[in-house]
Amino acid sequence: MDASARLGPTLDRHLALDVLRGFALFGILLVNFEWFTRALPEIVLGSQPGLGGLDRVADFAIATLATGKFYALFSMLFGAGFALMLERATAREAPFWGAYLRRLSMLAVIGALHVTLIWAGDILLMYALVGFVMVLLFRRTPTTRLWKWALVLILLPLLFAGLGGLAVGLAQMDPNAAEAIAAEMAKGRAELDAAIEASRNAYANGSFAEVMAQRWRDWGFGASHFLFWVPPILGYFLLGRWLLVTGRLADAASHAGWFARMRLVGIGLGLPLSAAGVWLMLGQNAMLPTPRVAGATTLLSVGALLLSLGWLSCVVPAARALAWLAPAGRMALTNYLVQSLVWTFVFYGYGLGLWEQVPRAGHPILALGFFAVQVLASRWWLARFRFGPAEWLWRLATYGQAPPMRGPATAGA
């Protein structure tokens, strides 16, 4: 076998991962855009009430096609990155665990700064925390068990939601219990409404210091449901590892049948399940364990799993045709932070002050336009530098030495 043949799958793998990151980066922006200009505690309420016309169409489309699917893709990529880094270290007989723990620690620092200074919807700190859990519990899990553990963890919250919904449904058959449950729900909703109002006021009218304090309150609101976040994220980490170590991200052609099945099942089944889940969740509070919420959560979770694999199965085999996405993917961390920095400045009161003033139907248009600029900017930057600024800093913290910055990026750098 000649050198080009040996290098081919490796180069394809790097291209597939970079293209997939670029694709996921756009999806993340599409989903996050709403939360740059909407109070984060409202996330448990799903779609914004009162939308009509094109705003309603745009909101339903984004919720069905993107919400919950692209954080899943990014989580899979995080797990694949772990597996790739381990593979490289093993091939070089280089130390791995110390470097990877430094990598997670630096990601936690970046995430904490992101929350403090830019946006409360940060996922990086959560990824770092869950990454430590993965290293602690699943660092040596055999390949054949990765996908099994992944499915268990991704679907585990459905057990809690189902049991909670069943308990509430049965309790409501008793008039006294139903009255107590209604009172508790009303109390919870009043507390949620107060949190939403405080968040809206801070971001629309607050000073930078006031917004900074509110960011941590909002991040804490999400983190308070840690047990519902951790299992699925960890499951998607393991699924991404499985996809890489089994060669599916290295050589799509050799797994064409698997990708074809995932496209068929992932999109054909995942799309209607997601749409049904979005419809069922309308007007509901995801944190209240009712039978309807349990049903909607089940549809949304299964739909997100299937549809995220469906999108992955469309993108990876077409990586060469979609290579224009790769520069944005290579700078995914930098681009993710820039998205938050720019759009919070646009919407927040200490910036341009356009909080809640952009119609929902305008969000995908603005997101698409901004992402196009990021693709071009990433291409320009990587023609001159080997890494994005945040990627360079992350690499410095991981390996303890400054990597060369000048010069065009190379595959696998």
| CA distance linking residue 319 with residue 63, whole number of Å | 25
Q: Is the pLDDT of residue 303 over 70?
A: yes
Q: Is the pLDDT of residue 100 over 70?
A: yes
Determine the pLDDT at residue 128: 95
Q: What single-letter DSSP state applies at residue 48?
A: P
Q: What single-letter DSSP state applies at residue 350?
A: T
Q: Which residue from 306, 374, 301 is spatially nearest to 23, judged by alpha carbons?
A: 374
Determine the pLDDT at residue 177: 64
Owning domain of residue 378: 3-399
Q: At what angle do helices 3-36 and 70-92 cross, to 10 degrees?
A: 140
| CA distance linking residue 411 with residue 14, whole number of Å | 7
pLDDT tens-digit map of 364-409: 999 999 999 999 999 999 999 999 999 999 999 988 888 888 877 7
Determine the pLDDT at residue 161: 67
> Which residue is associated with the tokens 């499951």?
235
- The answer to whether residue 97 sits within a structural domain is yes
Where residue 3 falls among pLDDT bands split at 50, 70, 90? very low
pLDDT tens-digit map of 317-352: 999 999 999 999 999 999 999 999 999 999 999 999
Weakest-pLDDT range from 57-66, 85-94, 102-111 = 85-94
Determine the pLDDT at residue 168: 62
- The answer to whether residue 84 sits within a structural domain is yes
Q: Are 281 and 68 contacting, i.e. CB atoms less than 8 angstroms apart?
A: no
Q: Are 39 and 45 contacting, i.e. CB atoms less than 8 angstroms apart?
A: no
Q: What angle do CA 398, 404, 405 make, to 5 degrees?
A: 100
Mean pLDDT of 63-79: 95
- The answer to whether residue 102 sits within a structural domain is yes
> Which residue is associated with the tokens 């930078």?
208
| CA distance linking residue 227 with residue 129, whole number of Å | 12
Determine the pLDDT at residue 5: 36
Determine the pLDDT at residue 88: 86
Weakest-pLDDT range from 25-39, 158-172, 197-211, 325-339 = 158-172
Bridge partners of 406?
385
- The answer to whether residue 407 sits within a structural domain is no
Mean pLDDT of 351-367: 97
> Which residue is associated with the tokens 């989580």?
75
Q: What single-letter DSSP state applies at residue 174?
A: S
Where residue 154 falls among pLDDT bands split at 50, 70, 90? very high
- The answer to whether residue 231 sits within a structural domain is yes
- The answer to whether residue 404 sits within a structural domain is no
| CA distance linking residue 224 with residue 363, whole number of Å | 28
Weakest-pLDDT range from 281-285, 342-346, 355-359 = 281-285
> Which residue is associated with the tokens 């720019």?
342
- The answer to whether residue 410 sits within a structural domain is no
Q: Which residue from 73, 91, 36 is spatially nearest to 308, judged by alpha carbons?
A: 73
Determine the pLDDT at residue 92: 85
pLDDT tens-digit map of 235-246: 999 999 999 999
- The answer to whether residue 268 sits within a structural domain is yes
Percent of the chain past pLDDT 90, that is, above it, reads: 69
Output the average pLDDT for the chain. Answer: 89
pLDDT tens-digit map of 17-35: 999 999 999 999 999 999 9
Of the CA atoms within 13 Å of residue 407, those in its CB half-sphere come to 6
141 burial class (0-12, 13-18, 19+ CB within 10 angstroms)?
middle
The total number of structural domains that make up the chain: 1
| CA distance linking residue 250 with residue 257, whole number of Å | 15
